Structure 1
Amino acid sequence: MSNTTTKKASLWQQYKLPILLLGGIGIGSIIGVVSPSLGQALKPVGQIFLNLMFTIVVPLVFVSIASAVGSMANMKRLGKILGSTVFSFLATGAIAGVCVLVWVNLFSPSAGTNIQMGTSEMGEMQSVSDMIVGSLTVDDFSGLLSKDHMLPLIIFAILFGFCVSACGGDESPVGKLLANLNEVIMKFIGLIMAIAPIGLGAYFANLVAEYGPQIIGDYGRSMVIYYPLCLLYVVVFFPLYAFFAAGKLGVKRMLKYIFTPAVTAFATQSSAATLPVNKETCDKIGVPKDVSDLVLPMGCTMHMDGSVLSSITKIAFLFGVFNMSFTGVSTYAMAIVVAILSAFVLSGAPGGGLVGEMLIVSMFGFPAEAFPLIATLGFLFDPAATCLNASGDTIASMMVARMVEGKDWLVKAVKATGEAA
């Protein structure tokens, strides 16, 4: 067999899933353009796939976190993982905030826009204390079984894991059950991903058929500003983060495996739906399981670089539309705080940014008419924002592994598997 044939086979094996996913999305998009009626008819197929991904998310988050914490005899290591996770989320979020502030001052997202104002009733905003309580806890156990309450589920799973660790850890009956459940869930995810190209193709066929015309028009300027910003952030900062995590080998492994979660997140517009794919990706890269089991579920709700980019772009857009000056340190600081808060509220649900967008409108004192404008932008920005959020979770896991295990962690992980770097 020639070297060329071997190289082609290697490339196919390496990028088989993202190629199939992109192929499915491409075919689905063409169907949506050529035959909108067929595209809309395929909606149930895409929804079935998405529902399968969503139904596995809650057990995946609970079991992976509870198992990781419960089997961790070294509580010092657990504290180091959690501390490093929060630090990496805040650091990358701050970098994203600074980048978008510079960008929107160079290129105004509202320039040349001529939008007719719609009318919309603003929903009643919760108080800050109510939002904190609602974000961190639920008032009934059944509330933990919903993907809309990811952070309370994460907190519950960590506390449950502490209790398992205190009662025998991974050698206890519950510890062994959690470990076995983790294996079962990963097998289940493999089954779901086998139909992913068909499911995403059908989902996109309906998406393009139903919403395609909205992508063109007055909102085009904002998309022309936002999407290149996302691409620039990925090209510049993702390799830098990976290099910090594990040097040149980290960049190489990141580039080798990051496309599958990135494509899945872009297509589903859901960090939660991408969580199972991210878990597989971290395993392939070589991230320690106890690190990825904690960082990925937390990142699904708390690590929102793409949403920070999106929120501040939307804030700058509204400032321009309402002829307000988007300048000043206090304005920029407020924009970053509101962006992080609104991103925090998203909780990974597709198109689930409406509450966050209401928060932006309310906290900056925009009139109610601003809500439909920013809601439309939210829909158009969501694919790229989710792509950055979810694929960034994998890279954050690599960074945490570096902070917890030292700079040679990936070299050791690759050698342990016997796999070529």
Structure 2
Amino acid sequence: MKNLILKWNQVSLVKRIIIGIIIGIILAVAAPESAKWVTIFGSLFVGALKAVAPVLVLFLVIHAISKHRSGHQTNMKSIIGLYIISTFLAALVAVIASFLFPVKLSLVTGAEGLTPPGGIVEVLQTLLFNIVDNPVNALLNANYIGILTWAVLLGIALRNSNDSTKNMIGNVSEAISQLVKWVINLAPIGILGLVYEAIVTNGLSALLDYGKLLLVLLGCMFFVALVVNPIIVFLNIRKNPYPLVFRTIRESGITAFFTRSSAANIPVNMNLCEKLELDEDTYSVSIPLGATINMAGAAITISVLTLATVHTLDIQVDIITALILSVLAAVSACGASGVAGGSLLLIPLACSLFGIPNEIAMQVVGVGFIIGVLQDSCETALNSSSDVLFTATAEYAKMRKEGKEVIINS
């Protein structure tokens, strides 16, 4: 048994995950009732990721800030700029695609009891209040804006502390990072359970009625992931971007696809940044921040479903209003929750731009939940993998400007 485990661990994580996916599909098709016990593996895996992520972010950021050397430059400005540009371009792509391939919906109910934000001011207000959240409450509720704020402030306050204190924080940070590696090593078993549950619970029959809508949504996401983002990367590093793009999709996107939570994927992204040998001072902040504000997939979902509602109601939209929708979708997406389905509740906000009643907009949210088994999975994969992509891009761009050779390992 020990030799079997050693051989299993010698296989690359991606190959092990693929094996887990295949087994999950086989069990879901062959034993949809008798193998329900495997769903617990998926719940335990996602639960473990969500449990360790807030503590990991807190200590990594405190450690990075407290030991930060004066004059040592990070790439946060560049990374935030890349996050914003990517999210806006994603919204723009979605708007253009929605006009080229208009979709009409058969509206349904299914979003009862959900309360969307009342306006963009409320979304931004929520973000601001998250900043001043109680630190214990922020940890309990995985409020990463609040966690980042407290971690940065504590890190700055501890800059003048003695070396033994900094070493202790560093040791705790390393210990939590090791816990993360152990959890990630269980990904194949966890994803096996998630795949089984997704197929048995949702099936694929419910998606057939919304095939065209899904094609537009997923087409936009793939276009952004495989065309728009690589162009952004190339313009910054002047090298073939696809080895980096494919690696982030393979090692971050696949896991995010099944966990359907940017927050749960933070430990996976941190681990990938470490493998890419990126600057810890930068990625310890940029990755959890990206899980909150880097939401290209959410911007696509908001734009496509809003314009599908517009087409259904035969509302005429001019170019200026479409551009305003792109900006609104991008800003709203930055306030989307980093959990499954977080972007859907922002659709009524975008619909209000066209005077669409809240009752109709909430029916569209119901449609979003029906197709969420694929839409939300692909959205999260795009959001989360691009966190690492742009963190690496900013560092490689800095190396290029300094005349250093940039080597991208695929």
Instruction: Please report the TM-score for the alignment, with normalisation by the length of structure 2.
Output: 0.86
- The correspondence for 1:106, drawn from 78, 94, 100, is 100
Aligned counterpart, 1:229: 220
Quote the Cα distance in structure 2 between the aligned partners of 1:410 and 1:223: 43
Label 1:193 to 1:38 Cα distance change in 2 as closer, same or farther (>3 A). Answer: farther
Aligned counterpart, 2:149: 155
Aligned counterpart, 1:51: 47
Equivalent residue of 2:335, what SS?
helix
- The correspondence for 2:307, drawn from 313, 316, 320, is 316
Quote the Cα distance in structure 2 between the aligned partners of 1:355 and 1:272: 18
Label 1:75 to 1:174 Cα distance change in 2 as closer, same or farther (>3 A). Answer: farther
**Which deviates more from structure 2 when the two are superposed, residues 337-346 or residues 100-109?**
337-346
Structure 2: give runs of 5+ residues left out of the alignment: 1-7
1:26 to 2:22 alignment: yes
Aligned counterpart, 1:306: 297
**1:394-405 maps to which residues of 2 (within 5 A)?**
394-405=388-399
Give 1:405 shift.
4.3
- The correspondence for 2:69, drawn from 70, 73, 78, is 73
Aligned counterpart, 1:85: 79
The answer to which structure has the higher helix fraction is 1
Contact 1:262–1:387 (CA under 8 A) maintained in structure 2:
yes
Aligned counterpart, 2:335: 345
Contact 1:138–1:144 (CA under 8 A) maintained in structure 2:
no
Aligned counterpart, 1:389: 383
Kindly report the root-mean-square deviation, in angstroms, between the aligned alpha carbons of the 2 structures: 2.9
Quote the Cα distance in structure 2 between the aligned partners of 1:156 and 1:73: 20
Quote the Cα distance in structure 2 between the aligned partners of 1:15 and 1:288: 27
Label 1:185 to 1:317 Cα distance change in 2 as closer, same or farther (>3 A). Answer: same
Aligned counterpart, 1:94: 88
Label 1:365 to 1:201 Cα distance change in 2 as closer, same or farther (>3 A). Answer: farther
Quote the Cα distance in structure 1 between the aligned partners of 2:215 and 2:388: 27
1:282 to 2:267 alignment: no
Structure 1: give runs of 5+ residues left out of the alignment: 1-11, 415-419
Label 1:109 to 1:359 Cα distance change in 2 as closer, same or farther (>3 A). Answer: same
- The correspondence for 2:38, drawn from 33, 36, 42, is 42
Label 1:318 to 1:130 Cα distance change in 2 as closer, same or farther (>3 A). Answer: closer
- The correspondence for 2:115, drawn from 110, 119, 123, is 123
Letter in 2 for 1:134: T
Equivalent residue of 2:265, what SS?
helix
Label 1:153 to 1:363 Cα distance change in 2 as closer, same or farther (>3 A). Answer: farther
Give 1:330 shift.
3.4
Letter in 2 for 1:360: A
Contact 2:50–2:263 (CA under 8 A) maintained in structure 1:
yes
Contact 2:325–2:353 (CA under 8 A) maintained in structure 1:
no
Aligned counterpart, 2:127: 135
Task: Tell me the percent identity.
Answer: 22
Give 1:130 shift.
5.1
Label 1:25 to 1:60 Cα distance change in 2 as closer, same or farther (>3 A). Answer: same
For 1:340-363, what per-residue CA distance to the aligned partner results, in whole angstroms no more than 9, with x for missing partners? Answer: 243223231123334323433455
1:271 to 2:262 alignment: yes
Give 1:396 shift.
0.8
Letter in 1 for 2:305: K
Letter in 2 for 1:85: I
Give 1:214 shift.
5.4
Quote the Cα distance in structure 1 between the aligned partners of 2:241 and 2:208: 41
Label 1:377 to 1:411 Cα distance change in 2 as closer, same or farther (>3 A). Answer: same
